[in-house]
Amino acid sequence: MMKRIAQLAMASLMCVAIAGPAKAQDDKMVYVIDKKVKHQVIDNFGASDAWRCDFIGKYWPEEKRERIADLLFKREFDEEGNPIGMALTTWRVNIGAGSYENREAKEVNNSWNRTECFLAPDGTYDFTKQAGQRWFMQAAKERGMNNFLFFANSAPYFMTRSGATVAADGTHINLREDKFDDFAQFLVTCAAHFRNEGYGVNYISPINEPNVEWHTNFFQEGSFATRADIYRMVEELDKAIEEQQVDAKIIVPEMGELKCLFDVWADEHMPDDIIRSMFYEEGKYNVLGFEHLYNCVAAHDYWTAYPPQLLVDMRTRVKEELAGNGHDTKFWASEYCILEKNEEITMEPSPLKSINLGLYVARIIHNDLAVANASAWQWWTAVSLGEDVPIRLLPMKGATGETVKYDGIIAPTKMFYTTANYSFFVRPGMKRIEVKPQGAEVTDLEAATSLMASSYTDGKEVVTVIINYSDEEKPMELKCGHAKKGKLYVTDIDRNLEYVGEQQLSELVVPARSVVTVVI
pLDDT of residue 23: 42
**How many of the other CB atoms lie within 10 Å of CB of 78?**
9
Which tens digit of pLDDT belongs to each residue from 56-95? 999 999 999 999 999 999 999 999 999 999 999 999 999 9
Question: Picking from 107-111, 155-159, 314-318, 512-516, which range would have the lowest pLDDT averaged per residue?
Answer: 107-111
CATH number for the domain whose boundaries are 14-40+433-519: 2.60.40.1180
Confidence of residue 25 (pLDDT cuts 50, 70, 90): very low
Contact 31, 76 (CB under 8 A): no
Domain ranges of the chain: 14-40+433-519, 49-345+364-384
d(CA 213, CA 86): 33
Which tens digit of pLDDT belongs to each residue from 169-221? 999 999 999 999 999 999 999 999 999 999 999 999 999 999 999 999 899 99
Helix, strand, or coil here: 63? helix
Phi and psi at residue 67, to the nearest 5°: -65, -45
Confidence of residue 412 (pLDDT cuts 50, 70, 90): very high
Q: In the chain, what is the straight-line distance between the N-terminal and C-terminal CA atoms, in Å?
A: 31
d(CA 463, CA 272): 37
Which tens digit of pLDDT belongs to each residue from 220-248? 999 999 999 999 999 999 999 999 999 99
- CATH of 49-345+364-384 among 3.10.20.30, 3.30.565.10, 3.30.70.20, 3.20.20.80: 3.20.20.80
Mean confidence (pLDDT) of the chain: 93
Which tens digit of pLDDT belongs to each residue from 437-469? 998 899 999 999 999 999 999 999 999 999 999
Confidence of residue 22 (pLDDT cuts 50, 70, 90): very low
* pLDDT greater than 70 at residue 6: no
pLDDT of residue 26: 52
pLDDT of residue 369: 98
Q: Which residues contact 58 (CB under 8 A, 6 or more apart)?
A: 131, 132, 135
Which tens digit of pLDDT belongs to each residue from 33-67? 999 999 999 999 999 999 999 999 999 999 999 99
CA 440, distance to chain mean position in Å, is 32
* pLDDT greater than 50 at residue 14: no
Q: Report the largest interatomic distance among the alpha carbons of the chain, rounded to a whole angstrom.
A: 75
Confidence of residue 2 (pLDDT cuts 50, 70, 90): very low
Helix 131-142 to helix 52-59 angle (10° resolution) is 80
pTM of the prediction?
Answer: 0.94
Q: Which residues contact 356 (CB under 8 A, 6 or more apart)?
A: 344, 345, 347, 513
d(CA 430, CA 58): 36
Percent of the chain surpassing pLDDT 90: 91
